[in-house]
Amino acid sequence: MSKPIAVITGASRGIGRAVALRLAAEFEIAAVARSRDQLDELRREIEHAGGVCRPLVADVTDPRSVEGVLSGLDAQVLVNNAGVGSIKPFMELTRDEWRQMVDVNFNAMFDVTRAVLPPMIARKSGHIVVIGSISGRSAFVGGSCYAATKSAVNAFSESLMLELRDSGIKVSVVNPGSVTTSFGSGWSAKSWALSAEAVADAVAQVIATPPNVLIHRMEIRTLTVPKK
């Protein structure tokens, strides 16, 4: 029997890649990102372990690109993970950097989520997981736009959860602290930060709840941050 499909955006590296590998035992992975070579490498790794992975090359900020790869896909799970960050003082941020963060981190939720929702609504089941950030609740210097986008995705996720819960569709937001990935510019991963695999485990736990149980918001941090 074929496995249910999990769509993961930003699956070419970092947290998205770790989520794809973590979910591949239970789901057929539909891996979305712009980097074809990295998606092909992910597909090989998943297939080597006995799983199925479809690399879907798309720019989540381009509605036609999203529609082209996601329309008609009957997904059980969507992990809205793709994200970018230009972490710098507000007066040094360029308009392009601002727009890119808003487009990838927030506006892309519109097209990606709407592309996968119709079959979930028809089936009365599905799970949308959004990767936010603790910065959505706890601002920091250099995060004027980034933290604002993550605050927006938390509000989006809660509103959508309230709207869809009676249709049998779960919406969750996972808010990690620092993670050791190649994320962003002006952001340096700390040696003590969470691994991408730890975040992937959290996503898997959120998805694995019984049918009538929803973990809507999860914050995941490293336990001990060294004192400066």
Residues belonging to the active site: 146
Site for ligand NAP in 98-117 (CB under 6 A): 104
Q: Cβ–Cβ contacts within 10 Å for residue 197, how many?
A: 16
Question: Does residue 160 interact with ligand NAP by CB under 6 A?
Answer: no
**What is the Cα Rg of the chain in Å?**
17
Considering beta carbons, is residue 40 or 125 the nearer one to ligand NAP?
A: 40
Site for ligand NAP in 15-34 (CB under 6 A): 15-16, 33-34
Question: Does residue 12 interact with ligand NAP by CB under 6 A?
Answer: yes
Distance separating alpha carbons of residues 101 and 123, to the nearest angstrom: 33
> Which position among 53, 179, 200, 206 is part of the footprint of ligand NAP (CB under 6 A)?
179
Q: CB of 73 within 8 A of CB of 116?
A: yes
Question: Does residue 143 interact with ligand NAP by CB under 6 A?
Answer: no
Q: In whole angstroms, how close is the CB of 66 to ligand NAP at the nearest point?
A: 9
3-state secondary structure of 176: strand
Stretch that binds ligand NAP, among 41-49, 68-76, 82-90, 210-218 (CB under 6 A): 82-90
Considering beta carbons, is residue 116 or 179 the nearer one to ligand NAP?
A: 179
Q: Which residue has the tokens 């080597």?
A: 48
Question: Does residue 133 interact with ligand NAP by CB under 6 A?
Answer: yes
The two structure tokens encoding residue 136? 């959505």
Stretch that binds ligand NAP, among 19-27, 43-51, 68-76, 174-182 (CB under 6 A): 174-182
Q: Work out the angle between the directed axes of helices 36-48 and 14-23 (0-180°, nearest 10).
A: 30
Q: Which residue has the tokens 């001990």?
A: 224
Question: Does residue 151 interact with ligand NAP by CB under 6 A?
Answer: no
Question: Does residue 76 interact with ligand NAP by CB under 6 A?
Answer: no
Could you say which DSSP state residue 185 is in? B
> Which position among 27, 106, 156, 183 is part of the footprint of ligand NAP (CB under 6 A)?
183
Question: Does residue 14 interact with ligand NAP by CB under 6 A?
Answer: yes
Distance separating alpha carbons of residues 145 and 151, to the nearest angstrom: 10
Question: Does residue 154 interact with ligand NAP by CB under 6 A?
Answer: no
Of 115, 119, 54, 107, the residue nearest 82 (C-alpha): 107
The DSSP annotation for 97-122 comes to HHHHHIIIIIIHHHHHHHHHHHHHHH
**Chain residues that interact with ligand NAP, rule: CB under 6 A:** 9-16, 33-35, 38, 59-61, 81-85, 104, 131, 133, 176, 178-179, 181-183
